[in-house]
Chain A
Amino acid sequence: MECTLDAQSLISISLRKIHSSRTQRGGIKLHKNLLVSYVLRNARQLYLSERYAELYRRQQQQQHYPDGAALLAMPPCPPPAAAAPPELAALPLPADTQDRDPRGCGAARGGAELLEAPPELQRAPCRDSSPGFYRAPGGAGAGAGPGAGPGGGGAAPGLLYGSGCDFGSGGAPHCSSRTTVLDLDTHVVTTVENGYLHQDCCSQCPCCCQPAPGLASPPPAPGTKRKYYPGQEEEEEGVEEGEPGGGGVAGGPPFAPCTKRARFEEYSAEHPQDSSNISNLISIFGSGFTGLVSRQQADSEQPLNGQLCSKQALASLGAWTRAIVAF
């Protein structure tokens, strides 16, 4: 079926539906919002697969980039055949980081499966669990407990976003992470580059650069990040668990586990014990950015991301609560 809307439009339409459902009479309709979350996930998978394809193309062009050997230690790996499934991580992240469990890296089991072995686009949406997008329905009161703060397991009110790991164009792929958020103030849907982990940012914020000490300015190939994480193998296995045979770890493209690992790494590396800092992390997602990241903006992202990083405080908790609040 040919859709007249592109993935980005579908994402924004879906987020608007979820947002407007909060104000509808009768409370939030669990069923409808669950269905919308499926569309959101499907669209996001396509969107990301397009991004990956673009990155791969770009990376191919940069193959001959004369750079430090470390970066090119591994041959570039191609993007997955189809959409790399986004990691559908739901907040609160604190609960996950507390687990210290790669599986819990912002995602429930299903998210891990999705990321671990990105199946074809056809199959990915058929995945059983897309836990990340869906939050406890506030309307029903179940699970929508109080406490947006860290440690509120499953209780962040109205957090809804789909996040995915990406290779942040022009940035340190392993550090980047993407989030699609709807800013309730400006009603703008944004795909957020988690700039604070960008390489530029890394130079400004040493704390977040531990995992990638050798990162130089040119963007490393997407697959190369695998090398940066010693002990990744066991982490991968942890990630795999519970996965219903979606192609197997070994069969999956190398960077899929990398991305997942990256997410976990960035959290654990940056905030090893301090869950209160997680709120800062979270708040970065919550800042209002304008415009969807487009391919053309790739170059302009670098300075922007650096800026964002340095303004972590800007993304205050206030902004955080203004971010898309689903339930």
Chain B
Amino acid sequence: FAGAGGGNDIQWCFSQVKGAVDDDVAEADIISTVEFNHSGELLATGDKGGRVVIFQQEQENKTQSHSRGEYNVYSTFQSHEPEFDYLKSLEIEEKINKIRWLPQKNAAQFLLSTNDKTIKLWKISERDKRPEGYNLKEEDGRYRDPTTVTTLRVPVFRPMDLMVEASPRRIFANAHTYHINSISINSDYETYLSADDLRINLWHLEITDRSFNIVDIKPANMEELTEVITAAEFHPNSCSTFVYSSSKGTIRLCDMRASALCDRHSKLFEEPEDPSNRSFFSEIISSISDVKFSHSGRYMMTRDYLSVKIWDLNMENRPVETYQVHEYLRSKLCSLYENDCIFDKFECCWNGLDRQVEFSLIVMTGSYNNFFRMFDRNSKRDVTLEASRENNKPRTVLKPRKVCGSGKRKKDEISVDSLDFNKKILHTAWHPKENIIAVATTNNLYIFQDKMN
């Protein structure tokens, strides 16, 4: 059996919140991606202004065993700037679409960050000592007159205040005509893929002047376009396998060993549409906004507008599980189309693998009104929680929320008509090893931990 950890065994407590308190949100501060690194020690966010902010977890304080270390700002840097494509008269947004961490190989940390067109490899390194005692230079950098030098000494490193530097080591540009929506690092840790609306390219981390196109779904006649690529990810263990999802609600699994151009899928995952649910907006709500492999690679999870689906890679014709995130919105699709909310791209994530839990058992995804949802695959129970500053006492256990239809409203329930659709949680992340989650509201980052006993 799986470990004791279950979605409803976890009691989530508020831990921290980062970001401005202001209700007036600056567009540049809107968080656009959240990602833990492989150890969970670092938590990176990207925003619409092209900045990356990295938080670092404090080392656990032995005396304060009731809470894990807090996350504090470790490094902030401008990853992407707005650009202008003069040939096409296009402005290229600096918004960071995705951040992916590389596994740590040495003292420095590396991450990939991408906007619509360009991927960058950043090296984040620490400097906590500096050389002192040069013979020809003063401490302030001025050169000494060589004739005044009477003795020689060996410069030594002396401690200094910690400085974290971020420097761009590679720039992978000019390979995407359309907007990049995904990057995914291969399990070989040497290559990675980047996907835009119509193509997927394979890169080597060391080589920036060329990439291989491995998927191309652009039709010869653009008038025949019927679907676009919405997300792509490498298999966690098999370095020749990747999946990509489409706006039509299908997922294709491809094997790079089959051919150079993986236009023909090895597997096609698709659930037939329920004709009773047909509406004007059926195509929109079936578009997949995120796809994530489970840790083992046996399952994958997809998110469309109203639901989360778990797929077994061995079964293509339907998902093994489907969880409704906010089914009460189905009758509101018209208004959500008018205000563009129906185009929101929600992400989803699996639980981390903590000491007790060996499998991918819980899935988490966001919703509106700053609500986020968790589904326990074992118990089939789900919970709705809210990211709000009102619950901001540390170790305050979050109270489950409930949304009711337009009809009668019970105490403590929220009516669907009073949901705030401007408060949306699109990006969430789960610590790879512990029950710590990062939940991004529009411009704030919330960190919740489970209540340790």
Contacts and interface: CB of A to CB of B under 8 A. Distances in A.
A142 B337 contact: no
Given A3-B280, A32-B343, A139-B90, A108 B224 contact: yes
Given A26-B93, A35-B247, 15 more contacts: A26-B92, A30-B178, A34-B228, A42-B281, A46-B280, A125-B280, A131-B226, A135-B222, A136-B223, A139-B88, A139-B90, A140-B178, A141-B90, A141-B177, A142-B222
Contact of B334 (A4, A29, A32, A131): A4
B87 A38 contact: no
Given A126-B273, A131-B225, A142-B222, A31 B87 contact: no
Nearest to A26: B93
Given A26-B91, A31-B230, A35-B287, A4 B335 contact: yes
Contacts of A17: 340
Contacts of B197: 30-31, 140
Contact of B338 (A13, A25, A43, A110): A13
Contacts of B221: 108, 131, 143, 154
Contacts of B280: 3, 10, 39, 42-43, 46, 125
A136 B282 contact: no
Contacts of B177: 140-142
Given A139-B88, A142-B218, A38 B283 contact: yes
B226 A3 contact: no
Contacts of B287: 31, 35
B277 A1 contact: yes
A131 B181 CA distance: 23
Secondary structure dominating the interface of B: loop
Contact of A1 (B95, B247, B279): B279
A188 B284 CA distance: 25
A154 B273 contact: no
B59 interface: no
Given A30-B179, A131-B225, A134-B225, A141 B284 contact: no
A168 interface: no
B453 to A, nearest CB: 45
Q: Which of A4, A34, A132 has the most chain B CB atoms closer than 10 A to its own CB? A: A34
Interface string B280-316: 1111100100000000000000000000000000000
15 contacts: A1-B277, A5-B338, A26-B93, A26-B179, A34-B225, A110-B226, A131-B226, A134-B223, A136-B223, A137-B178, A138-B88, A139-B90, A140-B88, A142-B218, A142-B222
Nearest to B342: A35
A125 B282 contact: yes
Interface string B209-247: 000000000100111111110100000000000000001
B420 to A, nearest CB: 20
Given A1-B331, A5-B334, A29 B222 contact: no
Given A30-B198, A141-B88, A125 B225 contact: no
Contacts of A32: 343
B283 A27 contact: no
Nearest to A136: B222
A139 B93 CA distance: 12
B450 interface: no
Contacts of A26: 90-93, 95, 116, 179
B247 A34 contact: yes
Contacts of A1: 277, 279, 281, 330-331, 333-334
A135 B273 contact: no
A35 B343 contact: yes
Nearest to A42: B280
A27 B91 contact: yes
Interface in B315-346: 330-331, 333-335, 337-338, 340, 343
Contacts of A30: 178-179, 197-198, 225, 228
Interface in B246-297: 247, 273, 275, 277-284, 287
A99 interface: no
Interface in B161-179: 177-179
A41 B222 CA distance: 17
Nearest to A41: B283
Interface string A144-155: 000000000010
B172 to A, nearest CB: 18
Give the interface SS of chain A, mostly helix, strand, loop or mixed. Answer: loop
Given A3-B279, A35-B284, A39-B337, A142 B178 contact: yes
B179 A29 contact: yes
A32 B331 CA distance: 21
B275 A122 contact: yes
The 3 closest A-B pairs by CB, nearest first: A136-B222, A38-B283, A26-B93
Nearest to B283: A38
B330 A31 contact: no
A90 interface: yes
B91 A3 contact: no
A299 interface: no
B281 A39 contact: yes
Interface string A112-142: 0000000000100110111110111111111
A155 B182 CA distance: 29
A225 interface: no
B228 A135 contact: no
Contact of A31 (B95, B228, B279): B228
Contacts of A38: 283-284
Nearest to A128: B226
A109 interface: yes
B273 A130 contact: no
B93 A31 contact: no
A2 interface: yes
Contact of B223 (A13, A122, A131, A138): A131
A129 B283 CA distance: 12
Interface in A24-60: 25-27, 29-32, 34-35, 38-39, 42-43, 46
**Candidate in A17, A130, A142 with the most chain B CB atoms within 10 angstroms:** A142
A30 B343 CA distance: 12
Contact of B222 (A43, A122, A128, A134): A134
Contact of A90 (B223, B337, B340): B223
A29 B277 CA distance: 27
A122 B278 contact: yes
Contacts of B278: 122, 125
A140 B218 CA distance: 12
